[in-house]
Structure 1
Amino acid sequence: MGNELPLMGQLHEALVGAARERLSDATRSLSATDIHLLFTGAAQGALRASAHVTGGGRSVCFCEAELRDAQGQTVARAMGTFRYA
């Protein structure tokens, strides 16, 4: 991911991607029920978001994401809760 999206957009996209990877049925819908954002530093250059699933069950998924700058420094973190329908 690049700088096309605002910071929160990049983190949200990464969180959703991680939550979708956990779905075995691609037709199920997904909705965010809670997202927390923490800025940890100033961004330098291009930004890259990554995310992973930290827990959940059949109907809820918990994910965390990091946004790193070109030097590899974390500039923002996000935690999200998603509900599967």
Structure 2
Amino acid sequence: MPFSSSSYTSYSATTSASRTQNGETQSWGHRSANQVFRDEDNSRHERSLSQNLGEDPVYEERHYDSQGRPLLDGGSSQQRQDRIEDVTDRQ
């Protein structure tokens, strides 16, 4: 989903290393990338990608309204409405 944003931040990093011990080489690595978009209505959209060497990448996308509340897939704010119910007299 393309964004027309009023602000944009991006960050990426890659690390890797290897060592040889007793004739056996071990390698490991990790890469990650993050993007943050802010729309004109101040809603925030975050995308992140991370991957360890030899594993499938993990992609996440989160959306927040201008108040910082998470948005559901349909674009509406997620508002929990928990309630406490007195069941003392219930049989």
Please, what TM-score do these two structures have when normalized by structure 1?
0.33
* Richer in strand (by share): 2
Q: Which of 1 and 2 has higher RCO (CA within 8 Å, sep 6+)? A: 1
